[in-house]
Amino acid sequence: MNEVIETLRWRETANGAVLEMIDQTRLPAVFEYVSYDSAQGVAHGIRSMVVRGAPAIGVAAGYGIALEALRLCKQADNQFDQLLEIGFTQLEESRPTAVNLFWALNRMRACWVQHQSLEKNQLALALTNEARFIHEEDINVNHAIGTNGAILLSDGARVLTHCNAGALATAGHGTALGVIRSAVAAGKKISVIADETRPFLQGARLTAWEMVQENIPITLITDNMAGHLMSQGEIDAVIVGTDRVAANGDVANKIGTYMVAVLAHRHGIPFYVACPLSTIDISVKRGEHIPIEERPAHEVTGYRDYQWAAQGVKVRNPSFDITPAELVTALITEKRVIHAPNELTIKELFM
């Protein structure tokens, strides 16, 4: 499928392969790709949020391993296994909450084990193919989520979203924004209300940019305006993405999602979570066990070079929160929609 926004692209040149990623720290002011040729480089790109969003992080990590294997072949290093293992560790340590990172690395490891007896350059080729497969699969999954979720939105719906679960957060199409794109493609008139999403501003910078690119009507609000709009009857549905869903249906997503879910419940507005199966972590029983990333204080005290908070002030910056399953109207997966998700219905998804 040809995607309008290519968040990540694999390039093979005379000098070797590189992974190019749109630099999401600079959007929307600057649109540019940055290139990576090692696991360490990709891990840095993930940590510094050049690439972000759970599925996109997973795809990037897969390519990070492929790049590392190709690089180690060229060096003809006899410590291939040991150095590739370091590449895995660097990527695993890049960000803790989105389970797609670990899901993709597990797939790359399984591929490594399966092809361990091959020549190193053949193994590197197998790892590259696996990374490409993860990439393509993510696009297909998002289109399936879009088709399954579009049915839930009525013609004319005004849909609130939080953070960015769009093409930029995935290999293409998006999960939450994928549902909106698919509903629009099916001929529905949908308008989007985007929370700006403090402190990293994924809503204002990325969701708004994506929707403007495709002429999908969008209105930007600050995070503290959502309750007011709901109380005025200006929001018909909420759709968000997720970084990890626990076995009981609790949802980890961008900080502020819980607040939106509570408000939606108060106002009787459906709260949907677009969720690839790769984002469900059945090894974690409940949301409280999901690791929540704490990011640097400077993201809260200012933006880029400007600091507005008092020098020396104490800061908290948890990057994600947990929305209990009871507040989730439905999980929209590539397989099917699960209304009022719970341990049993989630387990059945994997049967």
Q: Does residue 278 bind ligand MRU (CB under 6 A)?
A: no
- Stretch of 2-10, 220-228, 240-248, 300-308 contacting ligand MRU, by CB under 6 A: 240-248
Q: Does residue 182 bind ligand MRU (CB under 6 A)?
A: no
- Return d(Cα 245, Cα 226) in angstroms, integer: 24
In the complex with ligand MRU, the residue whose CB is nearer, 158 or 162, is: 162
Q: Does residue 253 bind ligand MRU (CB under 6 A)?
A: yes
Q: Does residue 53 bind ligand MRU (CB under 6 A)?
A: yes
Q: Does residue 104 bind ligand MRU (CB under 6 A)?
A: no
Amino acid type, 117: S
Q: Does residue 243 bind ligand MRU (CB under 6 A)?
A: yes
- To ligand MRU, the closest distance from the beta carbon of 170 in angstroms equals 5
Q: What is the CA radius of gyration of the chain?
A: 20
Q: Does residue 135 bind ligand MRU (CB under 6 A)?
A: no
x-or-dash pattern for ligand MRU, window 154-173, by CB under 6 A? ---------x-x---xx---
With contacts defined by CB under 6 A, how many residues of the chain interact with ligand MRU?
A: 18
Q: Does residue 242 bind ligand MRU (CB under 6 A)?
A: yes
Written in H, E and C, the secondary structure of 109-172 is: HHHHHHCCCCCHHHHHHHHHHHHHHHHHHHHHHHHHHHHHHHCCCCCCCEEEECCCCCHHHCCC
- Return d(Cα 49, Cα 111) in angstroms, integer: 27
- To ligand MRU, the closest distance from the beta carbon of 243 in angstroms equals 5
DSSP string, 169-228: GSSSS-SHHHHHHHHHHTT---EEEEE--TTTTHIIIIIHHHHHHTT--EEEE-GGGHHH
Q: Does residue 69 bind ligand MRU (CB under 6 A)?
A: no
Q: Does residue 333 bind ligand MRU (CB under 6 A)?
A: no
Q: Does residue 55 bind ligand MRU (CB under 6 A)?
A: yes
For 115, phi and psi rounded to 5 degrees? -110, 20
Q: Does residue 331 bind ligand MRU (CB under 6 A)?
A: no
Q: Does residue 52 bind ligand MRU (CB under 6 A)?
A: yes
Instruction: Give yes or no for a contact between 141 and 276, defined as CB atoms under 8 angstroms apart.
Output: yes
x-or-dash pattern for ligand MRU, window 257-276, by CB under 6 A? --------------------
CA distances from 273 to 90, 177, 197 (A): 30, 11, 17
- To ligand MRU, the closest distance from the beta carbon of 295 in angstroms equals 8
Instruction: Give yes or no for a contact between 226 and 284, defined as CB atoms under 8 angstroms apart.
Output: no
DSSP string, 28-61: TT---EEEE-SHHHHHHHHHTTSS-SHHHHHHHH
305 is catalytic: no
- To ligand MRU, the closest distance from the beta carbon of 7 in angstroms equals 11
In the complex with ligand MRU, the residue whose CB is nearer, 72 or 325, is: 325
Instruction: Give yes or no for a contact between 158 and 124, defined as CB atoms under 8 angstroms apart.
Output: no
Judging by DSSP bridges, how do beta strands 320-323 and 251-254 pair with one another?
antiparallel
In the complex with ligand MRU, the residue whose CB is nearer, 53 or 146, is: 53
- To ligand MRU, the closest distance from the beta carbon of 47 in angstroms equals 11
Residues in the chain: 351
C-alpha 54, offset from chain centre:
3
Q: Does residue 179 bind ligand MRU (CB under 6 A)?
A: no
Sorted by sequence, the CB contacts under 8 Å of residue 232 that are 6+ apart come out as none
Selected catalytic residue, list 138, 195, 243, 281:
243
Instruction: Give yes or no for a contact between 80 and 130, defined as CB atoms under 8 angstroms apart.
Output: no
280: which 2 tokens? 């469900």
Q: Does residue 254 bind ligand MRU (CB under 6 A)?
A: yes
- To ligand MRU, the closest distance from the beta carbon of 270 in angstroms equals 18
Residues at the site binding ligand MRU, with contacts judged by CB under 6 A: 52-55, 98, 163, 165, 169-170, 175, 202, 240-243, 253-254, 319
Active site residues: 243
